[in-house]
Chain A
Amino acid sequence: MAQLTGAEIFVEALKREGVKTIFALPGGVVLKIFDVLHQQCDVEVILTRHEQAAGHMAEGYAKATGKPGVCLITSGPGMTNVITALADAYMDSVPMVCFSGQVPTAMIGNDAFQEADNIGLSRPCTKYNFLVKDVNDLAQTIKEAFYIASTGRPGPVLVDIPKDISMDKADFKYPDSVSIRGYNPTYEGSKWKIKQAADAIMKSRRPILYIGGGVQLSGASQEVRELAEMTQIPVDSTLMALGAFPGGHPLSLGMLGMHGTYVANMAMHYSDLVIAIGARFDDRVTGKVSEFCPNAKIIHIDIDPTSIRKNIHVDIPIVGDCKRVVQELNNVLRATVNGDQKELRKPWWDQLNEWKAEHPLSYQQDPDQLIKPQYLIDRVFQLTRDRDPIVSTDVGQHQMWSAQYFQLANPNTWLTSGGLGTMGFGFPAALGAQAAFRDRLVLCIAGDGSVQMNTQELATAVVSNLPVKVFIINNRFHGMVRQWQDLFYEGRYASSYLDQTPDFVKLAEAYGAAGLRIKTPNEVDDGIREAIAIDKPVFIDVPVDQFENCYPMIPAGGCNHEMILEDPPELRKRQTTGVKGKKESTDTILTA
């Protein structure tokens, strides 16, 4: 058998794993690997302009395809830069394999140039990590890394490859299977517990399905839909689950949680049975834990036992893969469900419809006033829905509005940073998804604050022909911070006003991308159409009403049924007196 260098083994292993695209940025200790990558064409290398973005692109790729995203970065600063993406992927259970370069084995620990303790740095933000100390272990390690990243509760895995390992030679034999004695995820749920869950569902009067990102990850959309339709149970989706259950489905109540819909949160609070599927009772969903769903029994289906009873007491815990457990649950229910479920659930649905009608999501767009962010997002959704776009967001107000107004119909079309709340995630994640699906429409809804955290990737977008459409909801603020300051800090805008935002149109053009600006409500539709017709990456700058707040809102630690639904009167009064902390006439975009 011919011997291969570590770098060649690395590339061969990627091919065996079916990796088509990686996101990478070179450096001294990974040059050998890049050299080998350069001389083949099975694996496409997308050169990013920052390692953090490489990580987010791998995440976007993974979320859109369901397969592990791969990034390759160098030691030292390359590693520290990618940490944010790893932490983000860990929080949101994104399957991802990150390869980092390391100084030669003999120099590890000597404070060598661009050395960092990659294993130590990444330990708390990866599912697992490996330092390869012998080139003979490399193939096995890569196999295990992909296996761990994509099975059980998925997550990021780091493989740290010292420079000498990429140059050493070994026989290449790629293992067919992996067996790790300390790692055996439970996929099948306990039949007995599933039976109990079915009984509880049959007995309940006000049940609610609370579905999370686990439904996306395990591909359980069909099963969940069947469950909901069979039993006529309403569906609350978490931020991470959007698209896993069609947003426009009559059984969908939309998103729940801090900025969820009124009906979704009321339904949770007054339900008598919560069926949680692949969701983890995050504090943004539970609000005040002691008063969370006071009258409900709780069924919790999750592949990760640590998620169960971490925050909330659970009556019927079921450890297993969402898809298989719900399949089994459906089998049991199919045999037991009798009578007209619509009739049976009518009182509950009457109540839900009342809540729906009482406080639907709403905004007021005056044609002569500034564009309302909700209006823009709503229009983007309406004008693109028939193209089944992939939508990414950054983090903040625009993210919540997107979650409220984009009624996505399909799983794996929603890319957002949920757990970690990483500003700067949206644009590179969209690029990663576009790299996976060259022909699809990929949108990014960003804020002017968030997008500035990764604008350098315009270069990547242009060079790699990734024509994502970035709508920048430009309110010259860190909008969510400003909203909290308005509501809880008496309107003192400490460091939330962005005195200087760049001219995003010129910025995009400077990189060779296209830039557009939509200034008034009546330009919105044409602007959106024009943007998506351009076969290039586009930044669409949309100056919007600076003081629009995102409602409903449950204040942190508040109760789910006690939502703030509109600006409190004292806030409205304050706003008419103008922006505090803002220097006069520096707001150039508004006057432009």
Chain B
Amino acid sequence: MEHIISVTLENKSGALSRVAGLFSGRGFNIESLSVAPTLDPTVSMMTIVTSGDERIIEQILKQLNKIIDVIKVVDLNESEAVGRETALIKVHTRSEDRAEALRIADIFRANVVDSSPTSYTIEVTGDVQKIQAIIQLLQPLGIKEIVRTGRIAIAREALRAVASQPRPLAKAN
């Protein structure tokens, strides 16, 4: 089953490779990983999308916690979370397709961020289904290139207050 894991870690060189090395070294799946600094410049927030059965996810969470540069680990599947991804899609457009490309972008509330006589670059943000859907519709026009950020996610505040608090695992090595 797919899990979104949010990892707070030290913003220093090497921290990312410790996490990446853990996944490759122990044979855990990693579907996407995105990382950027938080408001505190010494701390980064990483969102990892992974999959595995309950036992594997438990190991992933524990192993992440064991990394000394990791400050906090939250399994967002334990709570309702908002997940988003951004994609930049460069679509090949013949003159008769240009209106169609714009129409599709419009439906998905996507923006055209660059244009040339034979192409549009479309920026779209949304959940995984939305990104998949726009890709599917643009594909017949001819997608030249595509770049995706990987998912980022955050726990929903209202639910966090009432129901299952994202559970920070006991930190121990």
Contact = CB atoms under 8 A, between A and B. Distances in A.
Contacts of A127: 68, 173
Given A123-B18, A185-B173, A186-B170, A180 B59 contact: no
Nearest to B173: A152
Given A123-B18, A183-B171, A185-B172, 11 more contacts: A123-B17, A124-B21, A129-B14, A148-B68, A181-B71, A182-B68, A182-B70, A183-B68, A184-B171, A305-B62, A319-B172
Nearest to B54: A309
Interface in B24-52: 25
A563 B67 CA distance: 39
Contact of B17 (A120, A153, A183): A120
List 5 tightest A-B contacts by C-beta distance, closest first.
A186-B172, A152-B173, A306-B62, A182-B71, A183-B68
Interface in B54-112: 55, 58-59, 62-63, 65-71
A181 B10 CA distance: 9
Nearest to B169: A305
Q: What secondary structure prevails in chain A residues at the interface with B?
A: loop
B59 A306 contact: yes
28 contacts: A119-B14, A123-B14, A123-B17, A124-B21, A124-B25, A131-B14, A148-B68, A152-B172, A180-B68, A181-B71, A182-B10, A182-B69, A182-B71, A183-B68, A183-B171, A185-B172, A186-B172, A304-B172, A305-B62, A305-B65, A305-B66, A306-B59, A309-B55, A309-B58, A309-B59, A310-B59, A319-B170, A319-B172
A124 B24 CA distance: 10
B17 A303 contact: no
A304 B66 contact: yes
Given A123-B17, A124-B25, A306-B63, A182 B9 contact: yes
Contacts of A129: 14
Contacts of B14: 119, 123, 129, 131
Contacts of B9: 182
Interface string A290-304: 000000000000011
Nearest to A129: B14
Residue from A131, A148, A180, A305 with most neighbouring chain B CB atoms (10 Å): A305
A305 B68 contact: no
A303 B172 contact: yes
B28 to A, nearest CB: 12
A128 interface: yes
A308 B172 CA distance: 12
Interface in A31-85: none
Contacts of B69: 182
Contacts of B62: 305-306, 308
Interface in A486-538: none
A234 to B, nearest CB: 30
A104 B67 CA distance: 28
B172 A128 contact: no
B39 to A, nearest CB: 16
A304 B68 CA distance: 13
B68 to A, nearest CB: 5
A152 B18 CA distance: 19
A153 B66 CA distance: 10
B112 to A, nearest CB: 40
Interface string A316-351: 000100000000000000000000000000000000
B64 to A, nearest CB: 10
B146 to A, nearest CB: 31
Contacts of A303: 172-173
Interface in A149-205: 152-153, 180-186
A341 B172 CA distance: 36
Contacts of B18: 123
A309 B56 CA distance: 10
Interface string B142-173: 00000000000000000000000000011111
Contact of A304 (B17, B58, B173): B173
B37 to A, nearest CB: 16
A305 B71 contact: no
A182 B172 contact: no
A183 B21 contact: no
Interface string A120-145: 10011001110100000000000000
A181 B172 CA distance: 11
A182 B171 CA distance: 8
Residue from A119, A129, A131, A183 with most neighbouring chain B CB atoms (10 Å): A183
A191 to B, nearest CB: 14
Nearest to B62: A306
A148 B66 CA distance: 12
Given A306-B62, A309-B58, A182 B67 contact: yes
Contacts of B67: 182
Nearest to A182: B71
A131 B68 CA distance: 15
A308 B59 CA distance: 9
Contacts of A119: 14
Nearest to A190: B170
Contacts of A152: 172-173
Contacts of B70: 182
B55 A153 contact: no
Nearest to A183: B68
Contacts of A153: 173
Contacts of B21: 123-124
A143 to B, nearest CB: 14
B41 to A, nearest CB: 15
A192 to B, nearest CB: 14
Contacts of A309: 55, 58-59
Given A123-B17, A123-B21, A124-B21, A183 B59 contact: no
A303 B170 CA distance: 11
Contacts of B55: 309
A131 B25 CA distance: 22
Contacts of B17: 120, 123
Nearest to B9: A182
A294 to B, nearest CB: 19
Contacts of A304: 66, 172-173
Contacts of A148: 68
B82 to A, nearest CB: 26
A127 B65 CA distance: 13
A306 B170 contact: no
Nearest to A152: B173
A154 B160 CA distance: 36
Nearest to B71: A182
A181 B171 CA distance: 10
